[in-house]
Amino acid sequence: MPSLERRPLLAAALAMPALLHGRMASAQRAWPSRSVTIVVPYGPGGAADTVCRAVFARVADIVGQPVVVDNRTGGNTVIGSQHAFQQPHDGYTFLVNSSQLLVNPVLMTNLPLDFRTAFLPVTRLARFPQVLAVRRDFPAASLQEFIVHARQRPGAVNYGTPPGAGMGQMAGELLQARAGIRIQHVAYRLATDAAREVATGTLDAVILTTSTINPYLQGGRVRVLGVTSAERSPMLPDVPTFAEQGLPGFSMEDWSGLFAPSGVPQPVIARMQAVVAEAARDQAVIQRLSAVGSILVADEPAQFASWLNEQRTLLEQLIRDANITLS
């Protein structure tokens, strides 16, 4: 039986978990008490921007506060990321980013912040299936025929992606490594430019998101040979994946994720993930984004963190093996 002197300490110790839980719950209920800013380091109208505007318009309704999407482009997402990091780490500024957050430390020197530690994962917002598409008269009707054609002509077949060192090029490098071929990469600033070039026959092939290539596919100006994702794209359900065409386990798609500057309270991160997940279940949001090829994810922070670690290892290895640069 505890002594009289120890009873107050024991009571305090027993009460501490309940007190901390109460404070966390209070922080979650109190946030947000004013507008929240989502920094998007990509231009308006792109896939990441479109997802943000659809999801966070619904989030604003759920939390009862404005959510502002702030586009700040440049520097392979460095400009927008640095701006987000420079704001108070109080849960009122978040960052949307993609593979650039993982590969910038490998591709760039003298960065103004440590991309490995500056941001905490909140949730993967969406994934964007990619496809290998070829010009209309390219002499291949399947991925395996494309591989045979490229193998017989090392370095002669070219393919375009936006931008350099983006997920399209990463899929192309993984294809070369897995299939034992060598094809020539051409970097484009905009996905629409690459799509137009393959549609006019200037390029042999492209690796682009389904939403970007679909207008040219519908117009009969290109042919799609395969999907780089692990699963078929809902937008192109009849197009087989790379894995189905002789490259088992192949998976490389574009994506966007939500991050909080380090130091943002965990209850706020948990609350933000919860309201994003709620918005991602809204049928109006799902229908709007599925129409442009975006697949909502909204996983929990721990799941997102684990997935990011796997992606980081894969992408860093591809960059080093293929000697990929931003130039």
Q: Tens digits of per-residue pLDDT, 130-165? A: 999 999 999 999 999 999 999 999 999 999 998 889
Average model confidence (pLDDT) for the chain?
A: 92
Separation in Å, CA 99 to CA 104, 143, 218, 279, 310: 8, 25, 29, 23, 12
Query: Based on the domain organization, do 91 and 111 belong to the same domain?
Result: yes
Query: Based on the domain organization, do 143 and 238 belong to the same domain?
Result: yes
Cα–Cα distance measured from residue 248 to residue 66, given in angstroms and rounded to the nearest whole number = 45
Query: Based on the domain organization, do 218 and 81 belong to the same domain?
Result: no
pTM of the predicted protein model: 0.87
User: Residues 6 or more apart from 149 whose CB is under 8 A from it?
Assistant: 139, 140, 157
- The pLDDT of 48-63, averaged and rounded, is 97
Output the six-digit token pair for 186.
């051409």
257-283 b/e with 16+ CB inside 10 Å = b? bbbbbeebbebbbbbbbebbbbbbebe
pLDDT of residue 50 exceeding 70, the answer is yes
- 163 preceded by cis ω (within 30°)? yes
Can you give the pLDDT at residue 253?
A: 95
Cβ distance 226 to 213 under 8 Å?
no
Cα–Cα distance measured from residue 90 to residue 278, given in angstroms and rounded to the nearest whole number = 22
- The pLDDT of 168-181, averaged and rounded, is 97
Output the six-digit token pair for 13.
């110790």
Query: Based on the domain organization, do 136 and 240 belong to the same domain?
Result: yes
Can you give the pLDDT at residue 107?
A: 94
Can you give the pLDDT at residue 20?
A: 45
- Asked if the structure places residue 280 within a domain, the reply is yes
pLDDT of residue 29 exceeding 90, the answer is no
What is the domain-level CATH number for residue 41?
3.40.190.150
More confident residue, 33 or 28: 33
Cα–Cα distance measured from residue 159 to residue 222, given in angstroms and rounded to the nearest whole number = 13
> Which one of 245, 277, 299 terminates a domain?
245
Tally the domains of the chain. Answer: 2
- Asked if the structure places residue 10 within a domain, the reply is no
Cβ distance 181 to 209 under 8 Å?
no
Parent domain of 150: 130-245
Output the six-digit token pair for 229.
């994702």
Q: Over the stretch 194-245, which tens digit does the pLDDT of each residue have?
A: 999 999 999 999 999 999 999 999 999 999 999 999 999 999 999 999 999 9
- Asked if the structure places residue 13 within a domain, the reply is no
- Asked if the structure places residue 296 within a domain, the reply is yes
Query: Based on the domain organization, do 134 and 239 belong to the same domain?
Result: yes
Query: Based on the domain organization, do 116 and 260 belong to the same domain?
Result: yes
Can you give the pLDDT at residue 282?
A: 98
Cβ distance 129 to 294 under 8 Å?
no
pLDDT of residue 302 exceeding 70, the answer is yes
Query: Based on the domain organization, do 211 and 167 belong to the same domain?
Result: yes
Cα–Cα distance measured from residue 284 to residue 122, given in angstroms and rounded to the nearest whole number = 23
- Asked if the structure places residue 7 within a domain, the reply is no
What are φ and ψ of residue 311, in 5° steps?
Answer: -65, -45
* Strands of the sheet with 184-187, listed across from one edge: 184-187, 158-161, 205-209, 130-135, 222-227
Can you give the pLDDT at residue 15?
A: 52
Give helix 266-280 / helix 301-322 axis angle, nearest 10°: 90
Query: Based on the domain organization, do 309 and 295 belong to the same domain?
Result: yes
pLDDT of residue 4 exceeding 50, the answer is no
- Asked if the structure places residue 22 within a domain, the reply is no
Can you give the pLDDT at residue 110?
A: 94
pLDDT of residue 17 exceeding 90, the answer is no
Q: Over the stretch 240-265, which tens digit does the pLDDT of each residue have?
A: 999 999 999 999 999 999 999 999 99
> Which one of 213, 245, 277 terminates a domain?
245
> Which one of 217, 245, 273 terminates a domain?
245
Can you give the pLDDT at residue 7?
A: 53
- The pLDDT of 163-188, averaged and rounded, is 95
- Asked if the structure places residue 202 within a domain, the reply is yes
